[in-house]
Amino acid sequence: MEKNYFMQWILLAAALSLGLWAQTPKPVVGTVTAVDSVARSLTVKADDGTETKVAVAEGARVAQIPPGETSLQNAKPAELSALTPGDRVLARGPVANNLLTANLLVLMSKTDIAKKQQQEQMLWATKGISGIVTAIDKAGRAVTVNSRGIEGVKSIKITLSEKASIKRYAEGSVKYSDAKLSSLDEIEVNDQVRALGNRGQDGLSYGAEQLISGAFRNLAVTVRSINAAEGWLEVTDLDTKKPVVVRLSKETNLKKLPDMAAQMMAMAMNGGFAAMRGIGGAAGPGSAGPGGMGMRPGGAPSGGAPSGGAPGGSRRGGDMIGMVIDRSPAIQLSDLKKDDPLILSVSKTKEANRVVAITVLAGVEPILAAPANGSRAMQLGTWNLDGGAGMMGGGMGGGPQ
Q: Look at residues 33, 335, 376, 39 and name the one whose alpha carbon lies nearest to residue 218.
A: 376
Give the CA distances from residue 267 to residues 149, 274, 280, 298, 308, in Å, rounded to whole numbers and listed in that order.
14, 9, 14, 28, 22
| pLDDT value at 10 more than 60 | no
- pLDDT value for 377: 56
- pLDDT value for 293: 37
**CA–CA distance, 277 with 279 (Å, rounded to integer):** 5
**CA–CA distance, 14 with 203 (Å, rounded to integer):** 40
Tens-digit pLDDT profile for residues 298-334 = 333 222 222 333 322 333 444 566 777 888 999 999 9
Residue type at 218?
A: N
**CA–CA distance, 216 with 349 (Å, rounded to integer):** 10
**Lowest model confidence (mean pLDDT) among 3-12, 79-88, 125-134, 150-159:** 3-12
| pLDDT value at 85 more than 90 | yes
Query: How does DSSP assign 77-114, residue by residue?
Result: E--GGG--TT-EEEEES-EETTEEEEEEEEEE-HHHHH
Tens-digit pLDDT profile for residues 255-309 = 999 998 888 877 766 655 444 444 433 333 232 222 233 344 433 322 222 233 3
List the Cα angle 166/167/170 in 5-degree steps: 160
Provide mean pLDDT across the span 329-355. Answer: 91
What letter would DSSP give residue 283?
A: H
| pLDDT value at 139 more than 70 | yes
Residues near 81 by Cβ (< 8 Å), separated by ≥ 6? Answer: 37
Provide mean pLDDT across the span 135-141. Answer: 96
Q: Look at residues 74, 298, 13, 68 and name the one whose alpha carbon lies nearest to residue 307.
A: 298
Residue 121's pLDDT band (cuts 50, 70, 90): confident
**CA–CA distance, 308 with 300 (Å, rounded to integer):** 10
| pLDDT value at 114 more than 60 | yes
Percent of the chain at pLDDT exceeding 90 = 46
- pLDDT value for 378: 54
| Phi/psi-derived region of residue 59, left when phi > 0, alpha when psi is between -120 and 50, beta in every other case | left
Bridge-based pairing of strands 205-214 and 152-168 is parallel
Domains, the chain, in order of start with CATH, read 5-108 (2.40.50.320), 117-215 (2.40.50.320), 217-392 (no CATH)
| pLDDT value at 188 more than 70 | yes
| pLDDT value at 401 more than 50 | no
Whether this prediction's pTM lies above 0.75 is answered by no
| pLDDT value at 218 more than 60 | yes
Give the CA distances from residue 95 to residues 54, 220, 231, 358, in Å, rounded to whole numbers and listed in that order.
9, 54, 43, 41
What letter would DSSP give residue 178?
A: G
| pLDDT value at 250 more than 90 | no
Q: How close are the terminal C-alpha atoms of the chain, in Å?
A: 9
- pLDDT value for 213: 92
Residue 123's pLDDT band (cuts 50, 70, 90): confident
Tens-digit pLDDT profile for residues 37-61 = 999 999 999 878 899 999 999 999 9
**Lowest model confidence (mean pLDDT) among 95-99, 269-273, 280-284, 346-350:** 280-284
- pLDDT value for 388: 30
* Residue predicted with more confidence, 15 or 163: 163
Tens-digit pLDDT profile for residues 376-397 = 555 555 554 433 333 332 222 2
- pLDDT value for 379: 56
Residue 68's pLDDT band (cuts 50, 70, 90): confident
